[in-house]
Amino acid sequence: MARKKSGTPTMGGLMFILAIIVATLVSGAITGLLTPASMILLFILIVYGLLGMWDDSIKLFRRQNEGLKAWQKLLGQIVGAVVFFLVYLHENLPLSLVLPGLPDLNLGYVYVVFIVFWLVGFSNALT
């Protein structure tokens, strides 16, 4: 099972993450749309990117095929998602789901469960 990602470039996402950060900061500064909402999105991108980089660096420097344990990655992702939610709350962003053709579904503080499930789920969907 360890051979599943054999040949995948280590830390290959670093350039994509840097490009997204630079593009977001520059375009946000030029257009005046650099908002707290865009900054918390960059935050979660950076946190999850750092987790991936940490995982890859363990593989590189220890010269072993395994990096972080699954529970360590999951814990880091959940902590990142909860911090995301706390900043989201602090910025008074809406705690509701907007579904096309339906009234807004206000989740209140249950929204944290949705955010954690969404962020962690999509982060692991293709890995």
29-81 pLDDT tens trace: 999 999 988 999 999 999 999 998 888 888 777 776 777 888 999 999 999 99
Which positions ≥6 away from 20 have C-beta within 8 Å? 42, 45
pLDDT band at 11 (very low <50, low <70, confident <90, very high): low
Backbone Cα Rg of the chain: 17
71-116 pLDDT tens trace: 999 999 999 999 999 999 999 988 998 889 999 999 998 999 999 9
- What the block records as the tokens of 31 is 């257009």
Mean pLDDT, rounded, of the chain: 86
Domain ranges for the chain = 12-124
- DSSP-based three-state secondary structure for 103: coil
Report the Cα–Cα distance between both ends of the chain, in Å, rounded.
13
CB-side exposure of 74: number of CA atoms within 13 Å?
6
Q: Which of 122, 126, 22, 24 is nearest to 81 (CA)?
A: 122
